[in-house]
């Protein structure tokens, strides 16, 4: 891998957990960090409604709307029941590409059932008053359901063709990530109603799930579409060390658990990816880990120096990680320490960057140039 310089910005760890309009230094100049809303219980996923309000999930099973003044709504009704344990719960949220016409909202969540739990995706129509989802139905279920509360994934990303990508963890079961007969450790691609597109790479393969788009993944909680190529990129959690930034190829095998830049938690070595060239190789890897969760390509003009860069939330990095790209190559990195685990990242209609802090008393933070109003 290419050696790159890492520049760490001034840390916010010395300021209160809920910051009151501090500024931090970055390569783009001073960045103002404003607390937009607080008092959220383990917020997990964030997206923006067309009117500029935020729609976000809380892991225990609540969907809320946050207005532009930071007022938090009562829980939206019509959310499916969730398996709330360890890493499970209500996870990501996404709007239908035709939301203005359909008003469909998509939710990924951990669902209990025979054998344990797995990741599922539901959709429902958000009423005009924002108080409930109507006609909520589950359109996809990860199979099989297994025991335990780890590695559910899960991000929801619509491609430019309107098809939905769902990232699925291997549920901390390791080997099933290589088994095409199940969904563990896979990224799936489906129509917005849950049906299978005929151009998926494993359609017609009797030994594979036809929803599968790629496999050999460990736990992907960060995903975004490249604004120019339309390709899906993900930032994937490694074990001890070796988080990866990957470009997802249809039918691609990303090697877990046969290869990794990290090691098993008990210290056992895992062969490095270049030893198995038949697997798709990472664009970049992080050692030590950042524990990526939430990701966007920044395309606005407010932070012009960040345009075209990847912004990744860091749980163990306790901040925002900016990855500078030249084409598909990583040429630099900057870490903005925010003094909190960052669970999700979103771009606001105002050009600012919004992040969720991963806490029992979580918050929405807004990052913008210090000289902006």
Residues annotated as part of the active site: 151
Annotate 139-180 with three-state secondary structure. EEECCCCECCCCCCCCCEEECCCCCEEEECCCCCCCHHHHCC
Q: What are phi and psi of 273, to 5 degrees?
A: -55, -40
User: 72 preceded by cis ω (within 30°)?
Assistant: no
Q: How far apart are CA 249 and CA 251, in angstroms?
A: 6
Q: How far apart are CA 199 and CA 211, in angstroms?
A: 10
Q: How far apart are CA 91 and CA 101, in angstroms?
A: 24
Q: Is-contact 275 260, C-beta < 8 A?
A: no
Q: How far apart are CA 350 and CA 357, in angstroms?
A: 20
Q: How far apart are CA 41 and CA 58, in angstroms?
A: 6
Q: Is-contact 359 42, C-beta < 8 A?
A: yes
What is the DSSP-derived secondary structure letter of residue 275? G
Token duo for residue 3: 């050696």
CB contact set of 277 (below 8 Å; sequence gap of 6+): none
CA distance readout (Å), 159 to 97, 125, 212: 9, 20, 15
Task: Sort residue 162 into left (φ over 0), alpha (ψ -120 to 50) or beta.
Answer: left
């Amino acid at each position: 891998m290419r050696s790159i310089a890492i520049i760490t910005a001034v840390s916010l760890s010395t300021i209160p957990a809920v910051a009151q309009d501090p500024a931090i230094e970055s390569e783009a100049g001073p960045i103002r960090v404003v607390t937009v809303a607080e008092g959220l219980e383990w917020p997990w996923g964030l997206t923006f409604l067309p009117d500029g309000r935020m729609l976000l999930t809380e892991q225990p099973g609540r969907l809320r709307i946050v207005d532009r003044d930071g007022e938090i709504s009562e829980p939206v009704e019509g959310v499916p029941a969730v398996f709330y344990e360890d890493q499970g719960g209500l996870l990501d949220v996404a709007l239908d590409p035709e939301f203005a016409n359909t008003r469909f909202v998509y939710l990924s969540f951990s669902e209990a059932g025979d054998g344990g739990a797995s990741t599922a995706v539901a959709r429902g129509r958000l009423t005009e008053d924002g108080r409930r989802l109507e006609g909520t139905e589950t359109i996809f279920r990860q199979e099989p359901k297994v025991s335990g509360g780890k590695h559910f994934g899960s991000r929801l990303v619509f491609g430019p063709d309107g098809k939905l990508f769902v990232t699925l963890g291997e549920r901390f079961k390791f080997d099933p990530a290589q088994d095409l007969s199940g969904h563990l450790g896979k990224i799936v691609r489906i129509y917005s109603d849950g049906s299978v597109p005929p151009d998926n790479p494993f359609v017609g393969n009797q030994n594979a799930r036809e929803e599968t788009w790629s496999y050999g993944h460990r736990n992907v909680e960060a995903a975004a579409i490249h604004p120019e190529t339309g390709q899906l990129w993900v930032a994937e959690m490694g074990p001890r060390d070796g988080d990866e930034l990957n470009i997802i190829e249809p039918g691609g095998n990303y090697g877990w658990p046969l290869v990794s830049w990290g090691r098993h938690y008990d210290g056992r070595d895992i062969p490095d990816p270049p030893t198995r060239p038949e697997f798709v190789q990472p664009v970049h890897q992080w050692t030590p880990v950042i524990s990526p969760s939430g990701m966007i390509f920044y395309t606005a003009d407010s932070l012009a120096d960040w345009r075209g860069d990847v912004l990744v939330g860091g749980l163990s990095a306790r901040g925002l990680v900016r990855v500078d790209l030249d084409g598909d190559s990583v040429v630099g990195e900057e870490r903005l320490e925010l003094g909190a685990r960052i669970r999700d990242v979103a771009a606001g209609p105002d050009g600012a960057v919004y992040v969720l802090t991963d806490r029992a008393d979580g918050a929405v933070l807004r990052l913008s140039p210090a000289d902006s109003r």
